[in-house]
Each structure stands twice: as structure tokens, then as C-alpha cells.
Amino acid sequence: MASEWHEVPIGSLCDGIYDGPHATPVRTDSGPVFLGISSLVSGRLDLSQSDHLSEEDFPRWTRRVVPTEDDLVFSYETRLGEAALIPGGLRCCLGRRMALMRLNREKADPRFILYAFLSPQFQDVIRSRTKQGSTVTRILLTEFGDFPMAVPPIPQQHAIGEILGALDDRIDLLSASNKTCETIARTIFKSWFVDFDPVRAKAEGHEPEGMNADTAALFPSEFGESPIGLIPKGWNLRRLDAIATVTIGGIWGFDSQEHTNLIEAVCLRGVDLEHLRSTGRANAAPIRWVKPSALERRRLSDDEVLVGGSGAGPVGRPLHALRLFEELYKRPVVYSNFVKRLRCLDKYHAVYLDRILATMHQTGEIKDFINGTSVPNLNEKSLLATKTVCLPVPDVLRAYTELIEPFTAKLYDPITTTLANLRDTLLPRLISGKLRVAEAEKMVEAVL
């Protein structure tokens, strides 16, 4: 019950609050992880882009504190409000703008404190204590220990942490499955369209490995000369503007809910494209009210690709604009002015363009077409007019699309969004004491 909850200084729940060195070590390709604030993503540590430091430097960079399992790390500058727990077995040090709470386990359950930290109530506390600097926003670690947090007795903390954690664990499991599907699609694309493995096998007198006879028959058995070297015979070098054009841009402004004859729609922004690509959901995508005319002109189809265009988020990151989105969100989907829209000859060329752009983003080649420093901006017209690719024959593109469609469909499984929405609904009510644990358990059991 809410009456069992008490507001206490967050520092009273800790054995210590620490920050890391105010510098950056020499980066290495392997070794202990150097945790930067970019590693904090929606309550989890994303180490996919993390830097490393040497074993020789590790003692120096952990002189103040060595992060251990269930320590809570958070950002005290720029990305305020982000936090995550240190998982077991991770050897790491704190990067700049990162701080760590070592929780007293007799007073605080780590998972509960993480969710309480991420709750709207504590986020409001952070916003009210934020200092506006000339270049960055920050919270002062000298004051952080006095920030108030409402907590119940330890048994109730455990129960709440387990309920919300069960949802997050299931979401993480589905996200891992999604990444596997993405890896499969990327691996097949590289084999067929970059390394030309089926053509090489047939040229050597072998049947392409793991491919049925009908699909294998679509590939030639020899190579031909081209300005970029040997390419499959019958395939042609083409600029991307031969298969795609730039079409209408995203919406700059949105109407308020008070207007009549408006339609409620999910708005994809540049940052959402990366989130969808990796997790198959964009539960944080905002709802906007748009005019029917604006919606109709921006209705997405299977022959289109969206690309992160400018501002925040992964500039140059593509997303095949599947109509599956509307089924997923149960409402129309629009895109903001930070997203560019490319229309292809058909959905098969759209899938091919999506994979080409994803590869360019992964390798860093896309940076050749990004202008600006403070506000990066993709020059999509130059990209289409400059980038030359080895374009397969239509039957091969169709075969590839049909092969990966089952994997693509899994990327947008509605259950992931359902679980995320339930977690986001339960979190503030549980953390505020307005919802009983037993009631929340029944709601979770109904979907797990």
C-alpha cells in the first residue's frame, strides 16, 4: 500500500556514489569495457559500440571504483535520466559523465531502484535539479545524494523488481531473436550480392550450398568484366537513381489535438529507425495529430525506404517502409522532417536498397554523403546519383525478398510492443504505490 512507502534521500540507499576519471583512456580493440554514456539505452547497457582499454590502464581508471554486478550506473551530464545495472561478469570502468551508485542491499533492491530511477516521478526530480550550463546540462553529484526517492519495504521492492524485470527479460529475449533474424538477412545478402557465392560455386562446377535447385537456377554460372572487376554475367552496374527517387519529405509541424477532422498517427523520427531495426518496436515513438491530406500524401508502401536524414538519431540508417507498421501500431504511420523517403521500382528493389544502405551505414561509407558538423544532414540526391551498385536480375531480387520475408516479419512481432507498453503502463503505477503487486502480477501473467 502507498502508506508503507517513505520518501528518503537516494544517498541513504547507497554505500557510496562515485564518478569516473574526467578524461579518456587510450582506446584498444579488446580488453575491459570503457563505459560511455552512449552505452545507456532504455534502462539497459548496450555494449555493441563500446570502446575498450588495456589491462595495463585498467587499474588506473578504476582507482575510484571498480564497477561490480548490480551497481547502478547513470549519466550526470547531457543524457540525463539514463541508467542501467552492471551485469555479472562485466569488467569495465566508468567513462566521462558517468556515475555509479553502490546500493546497500539491506535497504535497496537493485532492479527496483533502477525502475524507480527511470520512473516519471524520479525523472521529474532530475529535471527540477538540472543545471543549465553553457554547453551541456548536468546534475551535481555533490547534490545527487539528497535527491528524494519514494521506496517501500524491501520485500515489496523485490516483488516490484521481479514483475517489471520479467517483462524486460522477455523483451530482451525477443530482441535477441530479432537481432538473429537481422544477422541472417545481412549474411545472405552479403553472400549473394557482395561475395557472389552462388555464382562462384556454379562457376567451379558445384551446387550452391544450402540453396534449392529452383533458386540456384536463377544465378549465372560465370562472371563478366566490368569497370569494378568481375561481376555475375547478366547483372549490370547501375547508379542508385536508376532504381529509386526522392519523394515527398516528412512533416515539419503537427496540429494540436483540439482541431477537428484530424487523425491520430504514430510518427517515426530519425532515432526510431535504428530502434526499429534492432528491436522491432518503437514504443517510444510519439503520437501526433495530422491532417488527412498530409497523412494520405505520406502513406507508406512496400516499394519505399525511409532513411535517417538529419538531426538526432542515426543519419543514413535505412528502414524498409513496410505497411506492416500500420498493423503493428493499429493506427496510421507518418514520418517527421528528420526522415527522408525514397521510392523504388517495386518492393524487391526496395528490399535491395534497404540492404545496400544498411551495409553502407555499417561500414561507414554513408558518411561520404553526410554534410554538416553540428547538425549532420544526409545528401540523399547526391547519394542516389553517385553510388554505383551491381544490380541483380529481377528474379534473384524476388527470390531474396521471399527468402527473408519470414525473418523480417519476426522483427515486427506485436508481442514485443505489447510487453513494452504493459511495462511502461505498470512502472509509474507500481513505483508510486498506486497499484498493488498482486494486481500487477495478474496483468503480467495474462500476456506472458
Mean pLDDT of 281-303: 80
pTM: 0.71
- CA triplet 141, 147, 148: central angle to 5 degrees? 165
Reported confidence tier of residue 326, pLDDT bands at 50, 70, 90: confident
More confident residue, 36 or 214: 214
- In terms of Cβ atoms closer than 10 Å to its own Cβ (0-12, 13-18, 19+), residue 350 is buried
Q: Which residues pair with 83 in a beta bridge?
A: 74
Predicted confidence at residue 278, as pLDDT, reads 62
* 187-192 mean pLDDT: 94
Of 84-93, 133-142, 221-230, where does mean pLDDT reach its minimum?
133-142
Predicted confidence (pLDDT) per residue in 84-117, tens digit: 999 999 999 998 889 999 999 999 999 999 999 9
Q: For residue 14, list its beta bridge partners.
A: 103
Most confident of 114-128, 294-308, 403-417: 114-128
Higher pLDDT, 42 or 17: 17
The answer for residues whose C-beta is within 8 angstroms of residue 43's C-beta and 6 or more apart is 83, 84, 114, 115, 118, 168
Residue 25 · residue 34 · CB < 8 Å: yes
Q: Which three cell numbers, joined as nine digits, stand for 189?
A: 545478402
Residue range 400-404: mean pLDDT, rounded: 93
Average pLDDT over residues 59-69: 93
Segment 409-420, tens digit of pLDDT: 776 666 777 787
pLDDT score, position 281: 59
- The answer, yes or no, to whether residue 377 has pLDDT greater than 80, is yes
In the chain, the domains with their CATH numbers are: 2-151 (3.90.220.20), 236-391 (3.90.220.20)
Alpha carbons 24 and 100: distance in angstroms, whole number:
17
Band of pLDDT at residue 213, cut at 50, 70 and 90? very high
**What is the pLDDT at residue 223?**
95
pLDDT of 312 over the 70 cut = no
The predicted pLDDT at position 215 comes to 94
- Output the pLDDT for position 332: 85
For residue 448, pLDDT beyond 80: no
3 pLDDT above the threshold of 80:
no
**Which of 74, 163, 160 lies closest to 123, judged by CA?**
74
User: Within a 10 A sphere around the Cβ of 163, how many other Cβ atoms?
Assistant: 23
Residue 243 — pLDDT band, cuts 50, 70, 90? very high
Look over the chain and give the mean of its residue pLDDT values, rounded to a whole number. Answer: 88
Please determine, for residue 161, whether its predicted confidence score (pLDDT) is greater than 70: yes
pLDDT digits (tens, 9 = 90+) for 245-263: 999 988 877 666 666 678 8
Q: What is the pLDDT of residue 259?
A: 66
Say whether pLDDT at 394 is over 70.
yes
